[in-house]
Structure 1
Amino acid sequence: MSDLVLEKALELGKLIADSEKYKIMREKEAAMMADAAAVELIEKFQRLQQSHHMMRMQGHELTDEQLSEVYALEDQMMENHHIREFAEIQDQFQKFLNEVNERISEGIEGKPKEQHNCAACGPYS
């Protein structure tokens, strides 16, 4: 039985990879990575994240100035249309995967999970 479950999981993974949502996300990612300005912003943001992570690991709190720097860089990143489009489609794809997980849970538990639609949680929390 576990072999069948793993086989079906592989089949599900292939179906997801063939989905339009996944294909669009990969297209947006490729467009973003082909944009030198976008790549530079992403790398700058990753360096900043690493630096701040190391500071926190050493027990230091981030200053308001450092937090402002992060927020300003995030804003700058979202001004780049390739980054913004990828972030939006990636968010949509994550919601899709959450729906898939909900259906799997429904299959395991035998009943649909109660859904609510609050602004903080979204429709599938």
Structure 2
Amino acid sequence: MSDVVLEKALELGKLIAESDKYKTMRQKEAAMMSDVDAMMLIERFQGLQQRHQLMRMQGKELTEEQMNEVYALEDQMMANPLIREFAEIQESFQKFLNQVNERISEGIEGKPAAGHSCSTCGPRS
């Protein structure tokens, strides 16, 4: 039986990879990754995150100025249309994966997940 479950999981993975949401996300990612300005912003942000994480690991608190630097760089990133579009489709894809996980849980538990309100799932039997 576990072989069947694993085979169905592989099949589900392939269906997800064929979905419009996944394909669109990959296209937006490729566009973003090929843009020099977008990549410079992302690299700056990642460097800033690493420096701040190192500070926190050393037990240091971030100053208000450092936090404002993070917020300003996030704003700059979201002002870049390629980064913003990728972030939006990535969030949409993550919601889709959460819905898939809810349905799997529903199949395991035999009942809708608590707070389940997926309007695309159709009527309950």
TM > 0.5 between the two?
A: yes
Q: TM-score, normalised by structure 2?
A: 0.91
Q: Deviations over 1:28-48 (max 9, x none)?
A: 000001110000000000000
Q: How does 1:1-125 map to 2 (within 5 A)?
A: 1-115=1-115
Moved over 4 A (4+): none
For these two proteins, the number of residue pairs brought into alignment is: 118
Q: Displacement of 1:115 after TM fit? A: 2.2
Query: Any unmatched runs of 5+ in structure 1?
Result: 118-122
Q: Displacement of 1:2 after TM fit? A: 0.7
Pair 1:34–1:79, CA change in 2 (3 A): same
Taking the aligned partners of 1:8 and 1:62, their CA distance within structure 2 comes to: 47
Q: TM-score, normalised by structure 1?
A: 0.91
Query: Any unmatched runs of 5+ in structure 2?
Result: 120-125
